[in-house]
Amino acid sequence: MSKKQTYWSNVISAIKTLTHGLVLTFRHITQARKSSKSFAITQPGYFDAQQGIATVQYPFETIPVPDNGRYKLHNEIDDCIVCDKCAKVCPVDCITIEPIRSPEEFGKTSDGTSKRIYAAVFDIDMAKCCFCGLCTTVCPTECLTMTKEYDFSTFDITTHNFGFGNMTVEEIEQRKTVWANHQQSKTQTTDTTTIQPKPVVAIKPKFKPPSPSQPNS
């Protein structure tokens, strides 16, 4: 094939490709007069739905989020018993808890569980979170959940550290003082308690039979 024939064959191929692309473009323009409908992947014909606008005008429009999605964590602190299970099971150590014990029960959760530990600090660093959901699985009162909020972007990464503790500095110091006084009173009570000595039991001598006399040789 000569160079001239090769040149014109390339031109014809390019024109065909451009024409095919323009046809597809105008076809999508006519079909994209309304947004595509959102439905579950389990419904029949899910992968056959090729018409409609695939993108949305975020944040004015949003795509429906599943109820069981793994997104931003939330702790309902009033139902938290500060058991520390979530912090222990976290593989990336994104949960920080500072507990303060109470000498007695000071409340109950919504499911009736007794509360005996205050949460002076309960922080979750979502910048470290790997969204595994283990913390929500081990939570005994189900106060730790993953919400539908997936967009919490920011220019400052430190703002991804969300605090759920609702105690003031004065309350924290007061609760620490109460627990320290309680521990001190227990120690003093233990020291002042007199230990009654155990009665001395006389040791009964063991009976030893006399040894037989040795015969004279």
Q: Which tens digits make up the pLDDT trace of 85-98?
A: 999 999 999 999 99
147: DSSP letter: -
Give the integer Cα–Cα distance in Å for 193 and 197: 12
DSSP H/E element including 15 = helix 3-31
Average pLDDT, the chain: 83
**Mean pLDDT throughout 4-28?**
87
The pLDDT of residue 45 is 67
The pLDDT of residue 19 is 94
Lowest mean pLDDT among 27-31, 59-63, 202-206: 202-206
Of the spans 113-117, 183-187, 199-203, which averages the highest pLDDT? 113-117
Give the integer Cα–Cα distance in Å for 123 and 22: 54
DSSP H/E element including 115 = strand 114-115
pLDDT at 73 exceeding the cut of 80: yes
Tokens of 141: 């009162």
Of the chain, the end-to-end C-alpha distance in Å amounts to 140
Between residues 204 and 124, the one the model is more confident about? 124
Between residues 39 and 135, the one the model is more confident about? 135
Percentage of the chain with pLDDT > 90? 51
74 and 145 in contact (C-beta within 8 Å)?
yes
pLDDT at 124 exceeding the cut of 60: yes
Give the integer Cα–Cα distance in Å for 167 and 164: 9
Strand partners, 101: 117
CA 174 centroid distance within chain: 29
The pLDDT of residue 217 is 46
The pLDDT of residue 60 is 76
Tokens of 2: 């000569």
Q: Is 2.30.40.10 the CATH number for 73-170?
A: no
Mapped onto helix, strand or coil, the DSSP state of residue 199 is coil
Strand partners, 135: none
**Mean pLDDT throughout 137-149?**
93
- CA distances from residue 14 to 17, 51, 193 in whole angstroms, order as listed: 5, 27, 101
Q: What is the pTM of this model?
A: 0.61
Tokens of 215: 């015969």
49 and 36 in contact (C-beta within 8 Å)?
yes
